[in-house]
Amino acid sequence: MASATKAEAWDPAGLWEALLSSDPARIRHAWRGLSAEEAQAVQAHLKKMAEEPGWQAVQQQAAADALRVIAEPAED
């Protein structure tokens, strides 16, 4: 049996709670736990949330915050 990634070990609600928290440390921690494929899918969804109609303003802002944080160079 293959071992689970950090993202797989999290429940999806917990992952999205962290990504949309607007807390850079929580966003980075959640982001780093994603595989490359997961990160690509999450980033695409965050872009939709930030740019497309149908989302609440607070959701759009949280998604934009997450996109900004994940685009920043790593601090480590």
Tens of pLDDT, residues 14-46: 999 999 999 999 999 999 999 999 999 999 999
| CA separation for the pair 66, 74 (Å, rounded) | 14
For residue 8, name the pLDDT band (cuts at 50, 70, 90): very low
What integer best gives the mean pLDDT of the chain? Answer: 87
Question: Apex CA 74: angle with CA 35 and CA 16, to 5°?
Answer: 45
pLDDT of residue 1: 37
Q: Please check the confidence at residue 61 and state whether its pLDDT lies above 80.
A: yes
